[in-house]
Structure 1
Amino acid sequence: MPVLLIAIILGIVEGVTEFLPVSSTGHLILATELMGFDADRWAAFNVIIQLGAILAIVVLYWRTFWAVLEGLLRNNPMSWRFVRNVLIGFLPSAIIGVILISKIELLLGNAEVVAWALVAGGIAILIIEKFVKPGQIIGVAEMPLKTVLGIGFIQCLSMIPGVSRSGATILGGLSLGVERRTAAEFSFFLAIPTMVGATTLELIKHHDTLLAGASGVGFGAVAVGFLVSFIVAIVVVKAFVHYISRHGFWPFAWYRIIAGTAALIWLAAR
């Protein structure tokens, strides 16, 4: 299969799944297995194109970021609390990620781990949807520090491929008393430092390989995947926020369970 076609397919997968509670990394790993190409060749690509999806959040929420920036210049307490909450929420995954990076990388090629995590995550969503009461905390700046730290530590579960970073942070927020829309938006904002950090590490580690286009996966393929994931993510995020503000997460739960089960059957039958 041509490299650019693979880049487009993976860009679509990334854009669709990055901010849904279904695990973008897990889907990229399963897509790699399903299409039968070398996962190691595309490992750095899969991380770096996530910046395309992150850029979509910056574009969609530019008014929020601009208001926060203006507030910081005026020393507005709400703006400082917004920045504080995002940075503190990011801190646990930054520290634990650096400590466990070698173990995390070992899991990134394991499709079976992804499949089991999809099923387990789907069951967790159903349980949370059934038993957790609607949250009362509205607004990222209004979230207390203990809630922010709790979500930050819950985000660390997403280091297991298939768990879903957005799923862990959104549902963690709901469990800790955060209102649906706020939980989703905090997850989006938290993705910015988290994925920028992860991408920076990958660029440092694989810079020479990408620049040389080794194995056919160079900066050209990365640029295509980046652009595709950016465009697709813009469409998906707008629809997702609209949907979850009025409904629940149960369709994503059943999707995870069905997809994970199907993946386990397929992996066992190969």
Structure 2
Amino acid sequence: MTELIVAVILGIVEGITEFLPVSSTGHLILASELLGYDAEQWAMFNVIIQLGAILAVVVLYWRTFWAVATGLIQLNPVSWRFLRNLVIAFIPAAVLGLALHDKIELLLGSPKVVAWALIVGGVAILVIERMLKSATITGIAEIPVVRAIGIGLIQCISMIPGVSRSGATIMGALSLGVERRTAAEFSFFLAIPTMLGATTLELAKKGVVLEGRVGWDEIAVGFVVSFIVALLVIKWFVGIVSKHGFAPFAWYRIVAGATALIWLTIR
């Protein structure tokens, strides 16, 4: 399999899974096992193409970002509460990410951890969906400070590969009274500082080291593919969860995790 084909496949995987509650990191780890390529050679590639998925959020929600930016200049309290909640929810992941970076790196080499995390996370989503009461918070700016902190702390669980950053954030928001669409969009927006921070930390520690034949051509292809796929997936995802909730993704996690665990055990 050529490097460009691998780049396309990984770009598709990243674009599909980054904002769904199914774990993009977990899927990339399992893809390395399934396709048999050297994960170390593609580690920096996987970090950089996440920026393509981030760009998809910026493009799709540019009107929201523009409204918030102009509102900040005009001292609009809604815009300032929007920014406050994003910053507050981001801080726990930033602090723990710096403190536990080396331990998290060790977990990234364990596909069985990913498989179990997919299964457990799927069950957790089903339980949370069943226990949900009527949501009272219908806007990101309306999330109280204490609940924004809670969402940020719950997001930190996603440092275990396979848990899913978006899944942890969304389920945390739902359990704290945020309605489904707002929870999903808060996850999208919170991904921007979280993923930028993680990418910056990775580049600062390792530098832009491209190993083997993985070069800038492959990175460019993966970036563009992840951007285009994420554009399509985000719009589809919001529509699905607004109508059907998150149970379909929970069942996918359980089936995918169980299948991966069986395969990893018998191969």
Partners in 2 of 1:253 and 1:155 — Cα distance? 17
- Is 1:221 aligned to residue 189 of structure 2? no
Partners in 2 of 1:157 and 1:41 — Cα distance? 27
Residue 205 of structure 1 deviates from its aligned partner by: 3.3
- Is 1:47 aligned to residue 47 of structure 2? yes
Identity of aligned residues (%): 69
Residue 43 of structure 1 deviates from its aligned partner by: 1.6
Report the residue type matching 2:96 in the other structure: I
Count residues with an aligned counterpart.
267
- Is 1:267 aligned to residue 242 of structure 2? no
- Helix, strand or coil: the match of 2:93? helix
- Is 1:3 aligned to residue 3 of structure 2? yes
1:245 is matched with 242
Match of 1:232 among 219, 229, 238: 229
Matches within 5 A, 1:97-116: 97-116=97-116
- Helix, strand or coil: the match of 1:21? coil
Residue 208 of structure 1 deviates from its aligned partner by: 4.5
- Helix, strand or coil: the match of 2:42? helix
Matches within 5 A, 1:63-142: 63-142=63-142
Residue 219 of structure 1 deviates from its aligned partner by: 2.3
- Normalising by structure 1, we get a TM-score of 0.97
Report the residue type matching 1:236 in the other structure: V
Query: Cα deviations across residues 133-166 of structure 1 (Å, max 9, x unaligned)?
Result: 1311011011001110000000000000000000
1:181 to 1:164, Cα distance in 2 relative to 1, 3 A: same
- Normalising by structure 2, we get a TM-score of 0.98
- Helix, strand or coil: the match of 2:66? helix
- Helix, strand or coil: the match of 2:209? helix
Query: Cα deviations across residues 31-81 of structure 1 (Å, max 9, x unaligned)?
Result: 011001111111221122111111100000000000001101101111111
Partners in 2 of 1:84 and 1:125 — Cα distance? 27
Gaps of 5+ in 2: none
**1:15–1:229 Cα contact (<8 Å) kept:** yes
Report the residue type matching 2:91 in the other structure: L
Partners in 1 of 2:11 and 2:191 — Cα distance? 17
Report the residue type matching 2:239 in the other structure: H
Query: Could you say what the CA RMSD is over the residues aligned between the two structures, in angstroms?
Result: 0.9
2:60 is matched with 60
Gaps of 5+ in 1: none
Residue 226 of structure 1 deviates from its aligned partner by: 0.8
